[in-house]
Amino acid sequence: GGSAVIDMENMDDTSGSSFEDMGEMHQRMKEEEEEDEAEGEAGAGEEEDGEFLGMKGLRGQLGRQVADQMWQVGKRQASRAFSLYANIDILRPYFDVEPVQVRARLLESMIPVKMINFPQKIAGELYGPLMLVFTLVAILLHGMKTSDTIIREGTLMGTAIGTCFGYWLGVSSFMYFLAYLCNAQITMVQMLSLLGYGLFGHCITLFVTYNIHFHSLFYIFWLVVGGLSTLRMVAVLVSRTVGHTQRLILCGTLAALHMLFLLYLHFAYHKVVEGILDTLEGPNMPPFQRVARDIPVVSNAVLNTTAKAIALTV
């Protein structure tokens, strides 16, 4: 390509160019030599002419060298930029954990701390939260499949991934922004980590209540398990914030978002099964409820086929 290369053939107008003068002088000298010399030395003259390659040759060689240099520089810059930005080693410190640490942090996420006057330590680790988000996606898929949720725009998988990752990343960013406004001492990675580990309570609750369909059971789990993980997150945040109003704003927002998300996950992806149970409770058919309590896995298939049969007859 000629765009990046200085096209020296177009510099004919610069009459002061020393290259051209040199070239012309050489050319004239060569011609004079050839005229002066006998035919016997014409071969040598031609050879020399061939080596010199004339004016075009010199420009061509220079152009080629410049092009070569620019290519080298461009390639070096591109590889440097690539190794800087596409380097996953940036994330490596956040994945430096042992399995015992992950287990300990999972259990700790359900235990609220008592000491809120001293800033609590938050581990800035991303492996646990990432795995919890994926687990939540898997549980959500299970819930959507068993409730035969019909997603019209988009796919089941896309909705599940979008919901879970959207919550984790979006609410973390929002809380980090609020924390910045309220002068809390927390970094983005710590916020991501805190919220991610808070999803452990959600995973447990949804795993249990997607298999055992009882309104009251869900509410108990929502309050107890959801409440414990919320209390832990709130306590850690409070320990890192100064001032009553700021503490109230931060913790109120986090508690509300966390608990409402669990409520949303349960009801948005479960309404078909709730509807079936309501219609079953109507004509007084308690045996189905007892089946749901005993063998959850098989009862889903039975419930679904029965529901389809009922829907067909209605």
Q: Does 130 bind another protein (CB under 8 A)?
A: yes
User: What is the chain's percent helix, strand, coil content, to nearest 5?
Assistant: 80, 0, 20
The radius of gyration of the chain from alpha carbons, rounded to an integer in Å, stands at 37
Kindly determine how many residues on this chain lie close enough to bind another protein according to the rule CB under 8 A.
Answer: 31
Nearest to 313 by CA among 270, 281, 279, 284: 279
27 binds another protein (CB under 8 A): no
- Minimum CB separation from another protein for residue 126, in Å? 9
Find the binder of another protein among 23, 127, 167, 222 (CB under 8 A). Answer: 127
Window contacting another protein (CB under 8 A); options: 12-20, 88-96, 234-242, 256-264: 88-96
276 within 8 A of 292, measured Cβ to Cβ: no
Q: Do 269 and 137 meet the contact criterion of CB atoms below 8 Å apart?
A: no
Q: Decide: is 92 part of the binding site for another protein (CB under 8 A).
A: yes
Residue 260 token pair: 């409402």
Q: What angle do CA 109, 113, 117 make, to 5 degrees?
A: 135
- Which of 68, 71, 76, 134 binds another protein (CB under 8 A)? It is 134
Write down the least CB distance from residue 7 to another protein, Å: 38
Residue 148 lies near another protein (rule: CB under 8 A): yes
Taking a C-beta distance cutoff of 8 angstroms, is the pair 6, 63 a contact?
yes
Q: Is 282 exposed, middle or buried (0-12, 13-18, 19+ CB in 10 A)?
A: exposed
Among 55, 58, 67, 102, binds another protein (CB under 8 A): 102
- Decide: 184 and 241 in contact? Cβ < 8 Å: yes
Question: Shortest CA distance to 265 belongs to which of 149, 112, 174?
Answer: 149
246/299 with CB nearer another protein:
299
Binding residue (CB under 8 A) for another protein from 57, 74, 158, 243? 158
Q: Considering the complex, what minimum distance in angstroms separates the CB of residue 65 from another protein?
A: 31
Q: Which is nearer to another protein, 22 or 157 (CB)?
A: 157
Cβ nearer to another protein, comparing 22 with 311: 311
> Among 259, 258, 241, which Cα is nearest to 250's?
241
Distances (CA, A) of 50 to 46, 57, 102, 137, 173: 6, 10, 75, 73, 70
Q: Does 291 bind another protein (CB under 8 A)?
A: no
Residue recorded with tokens 């177009």: 10
Q: Does 135 bind another protein (CB under 8 A)?
A: yes
Of 152, 312, 313, 314, the one binding another protein (CB under 8 A) is 152
104 is a contact residue toward another protein (CB under 8 A): no
Please, what is the minimum distance in Å from the beta carbon of residue 275 to another protein? 14
Spatial separation of the C-alpha atoms in residues 138 and 161, rounded to whole Å: 9
Nearer to another protein, 51 or 96 (CB): 96
Residue 169 as a binder of another protein (CB under 8 A): the answer is: no
Among 16, 40, 43, 99, binds another protein (CB under 8 A): 99
Ramachandran angles phi, psi of 147, nearest 5°: -100, 5
Residue ranges binding another protein (CB under 8 A)? 88, 91-92, 95, 97-99, 102, 127, 130-131, 134-135, 138, 141-142, 145-146, 148, 150, 152, 154-158, 297-298, 301-302, 305
